[in-house]
Structure 1
């Protein structure tokens, strides 16, 4: 199965269904669209400044700029207080990868220009993620950049 590494807290936001799109600077490969992929939490520790930014935006009139569901706010407030609660270097779930669209094509869902991080060059393409299947417990994995092969929990 192909896997994609995503930094925390965004990995967990996907897991809980509060982040319906993964944003990248490139469209997902055609052969993976409609396929199930693994979502891996990278080894990079949670950055409290990023969590704080998401919280501030979700609390204000620009909540739509995060592309996150409002239910994410309480979770992010807990993460800000205790960032170590999120698993790192683990596959947390599998999702069905949809057909990517340009991020500005989904603006109507959120109300304007969207970007869920401070990396503007990563928000050009919105990759829908759906049909989330959590892995309980999460499975340790090293990960890699881009898509990589994951052997699964066996």
Structure 2
């Protein structure tokens, strides 16, 4: 017998959604506090349909490797190997073009899918979160993201079930066997 569980979901673009799922992104940054009723509740993290752009991924890799620019709020030891694979997958030739049929398919991120669930923690000021990752008080990003929403007790969903997203929080119905 199966039953359904409805929980709030939040759509996040890739590679950010998967970075949350692999524990490399401890905060989701938003311009406002989350609804108080959701703090301490488990939410679903939905990877949006937008494919990541190679230049954006390369910029993240460069900032993590060199420390140049504003450092992203990522756990570098986890994020860097992952982002390198994502970048290679985004820039690899199609499997049937250069190496012929049967060559391995490039690494690809799930899109339009629930990649994990997490407990939404008590929000923190974005600049306080940034200082945990090396931001200075004169960072050019100060005030850009007013709130860091802690992603706690993250549980990846493998395989990632497909889902249509929406802006803001929306209801996702998980079916369990």
* TM-score over 0.5 (shorter chain): yes
Q: In the alignment, is the contact (CA less than 8 A) between 1:7 and 1:41 conserved in 2?
A: yes
Which deviates further from its counterpart, 78-87 or 6-15?
A: 78-87
Alignment deviations for residues 105-134 of structure 1 (CA, whole Å, 9 cap, x no partner)? 2233112159xxxx9876221000010111
Structure 1 residue corresponding to 2:75, chosen from 69, 74, 96: 69
Structure 1 outlier segments of 4+, above 4 Å: 119-122
Matching of residues 15-94 of structure 1 within 5 Å: 15-62=21-68, 65-70=71-76, 71-83=78-90, 85-94=108-117
Which deviates further from its counterpart, 103-112 or 50-59?
A: 103-112
Larger radius of gyration: 2
Q: In 1, distance between residues paired with 2:142 and 2:59?
A: 14
The alignment yields a C-alpha RMSD, in angstroms, of 2.1
Aligned match of 1:105 = 128
Q: How many residues align?
A: 150
SS at match of 1:107: helix
Aligned match of 1:144 = 166
Check if 1:135 corresponds to 2:142. no
Q: In 2, distance between residues paired with 1:41 and 1:107?
A: 23
Q: In the alignment, is the contact (CA less than 8 A) between 1:23 and 1:122 conserved in 2?
A: no
Measured at CA, do residues 122 and 140 of structure 1 come closer, stay the same or move farther in structure 2, by a change above 3 Å? farther
Q: In the alignment, is the contact (CA less than 8 A) between 2:41 and 2:120 conserved in 1?
A: yes
Q: Any stretches of 5+ residues in structure 2 without a counterpart?
A: 1-6, 91-106
TM-score (norm 1): 0.89
TM-score (norm 2): 0.78
Q: Any stretches of 5+ residues in structure 1 without a counterpart?
A: none
SS at match of 1:137: coil
Q: In the alignment, is the contact (CA less than 8 A) between 1:139 and 1:153 conserved in 2?
A: no
Measured at CA, do residues 87 and 25 of structure 1 come closer, stay the same or move farther in structure 2, by a change above 3 Å? same
Measured at CA, do residues 24 and 113 of structure 1 come closer, stay the same or move farther in structure 2, by a change above 3 Å? farther
Which deviates further from its counterpart, 85-94 or 64-73?
A: 64-73
SS at match of 1:56: helix
